Chains A and B, each alone.
Chain A
């Protein structure tokens, strides 16, 4: 029963995602990719879309995956699943356990979780980077020159803007910039090969 599965899997994501928008990416990736709902590549394309559309990333991914797997009802089940844990926990804190966040066991738990979340985010980012530049298995490493050029330009432009002009770049701007670079660099490589 796909609806129940979507609900339960996204409920788990909602319950265990700490550390804001990026803290949930490792968990959603794992859930969605191991279940075979999306390929790894489709998943990270989706994250790109979610970074440049409004709303919380967890809700956006849940809606998308739910819809792909189970149509309109699927997207509602997945979204309900991801939202419900936060909703219930905050309701509990607001209504009954006003001092839960001052509780020493609760604080201890959160303090212990923090370095784990940072490690999950950085390992997900590193693995994605490795796969983006061409890693597909121990004996299947072929450097993806186009992606390497895009990354070098992206990092160069980013540090140029943030260091020289002291400007901050939002996630949306970085996605738009990288889309532009992807287009230009791919076109340039295509032109050279012709």
Chain B
């Protein structure tokens, strides 16, 4: 069972590109449809948990499924399974990427890739912005953090974004849990 957990999640780690949500489809196919380790409802529940806790979704899912099947040892093996393919592939890439980048044609391709990365980050951001609550507080929070992040970067002020995350979280606790607990329930 432990070996099966490892290899199942290693396959998921090896064949999903782009991370995040691409992994969910793969996990559904393998874990729910083929292995029947989770049913559909448990998967949905798990996605909610994975989305509302920090860390890569694939790691969260592997840990959870592994634990359900075989306790702490199972969760360790499943998580290791997701991680090992990336670890090996990126380690190998790290050995020759610098030399590779010195090639003129590769550098040309990367001029384009940088544009592609900017595009992907902005696309992800706009998609998430559309799903944001259309209320005053989230909008103001968004606006203030966005403007400050841009200003700090342009003026070379160093300020860790971890503070923004913590302040947002504390504001959330005060507003939705302390001041109007009913609203959070609904």
- Closest-CB distance, A102 to chain B (whole angstroms): 10
Report A-chain residues with C-beta under 8 Å of the C-beta of B20: 20-22, 56-57
Task: Tell me if A8 is interfacial: C-beta within 8 Å of chain B.
Answer: no
Task: Tell me if A36 is interfacial: C-beta within 8 Å of chain B.
Answer: no
Interface residues on A, range: 35 or more
Interface string of A51-78 (1 = CB under 8 A from B): 1111111111101100110001001100
Report B-chain residues with C-beta under 8 Å of the C-beta of A46: 97
Q: Which DSSP category, helix, strand, loop or mixed, fits chain B's interface?
A: helix
Considering only CB atoms, which chain B residue lies closest to A179 in the complex? B109
| B17: contacting residue among A105, A124, A170, CB under 8 A | A170
| B19: contacting residue among A57, A123, A124, A175, CB under 8 A | A57
A113 and B169 contacting across the interface, CB-CB below 8 Å: yes
Interface string of B121-143 (1 = CB under 8 A from A): 11011101100110000110111
A55 and B116 contacting across the interface, CB-CB below 8 Å: no
- Closest-CB distance, A77 to chain B (whole angstroms): 11
- Closest-CB distance, B158 to chain A (whole angstroms): 6
Task: Tell me if B44 is interfacial: C-beta within 8 Å of chain A.
Answer: no
Considering only CB atoms, which chain B residue lies closest to A172 in the complex? B17
How far apart are the CA atoms of A116 and B13 in the complex, in Å?
A: 29
B146 and A119 contacting across the interface, CB-CB below 8 Å: yes
Report A-chain residues with C-beta under 8 Å of the C-beta of B15: 54
How far apart are the CA atoms of A25 and B59 in the complex, in Å?
A: 17
A154 and B115 contacting across the interface, CB-CB below 8 Å: yes
Per the 8 Å Cβ criterion, residues 105-136 of A in contact with B are 105-129, 132
- Closest-CB distance, A16 to chain B (whole angstroms): 5
Tell me the A residues contacting B by CB distance below 8 Å. 12, 14-22, 24-27, 30, 34, 41, 44-61, 63-64, 67-68, 72, 75-76, 79, 82-83, 85-87, 89-91, 93-95, 101, 104-129, 132, 138, 146-147, 150-151, 154-155, 158, 170-172, 174-175, 177-183, 185-187
> Known pairs A19-B128, A94-B63. 12 more at Cβ < 8 A?
A14-B54, A44-B117, A55-B19, A56-B57, A57-B56, A83-B55, A115-B133, A127-B150, A146-B111, A150-B111, A170-B22, A171-B18
Tell me the B residues contacting A by CB distance below 8 Å. 13-23, 48-60, 63-64, 67-68, 72, 75-76, 79, 82-83, 85-87, 89-91, 93-95, 97, 101, 105, 108-122, 124-126, 128-129, 132-133, 138-139, 141-146, 149-150, 153-154, 158, 160-162, 164-165, 167-178, 181, 184-185
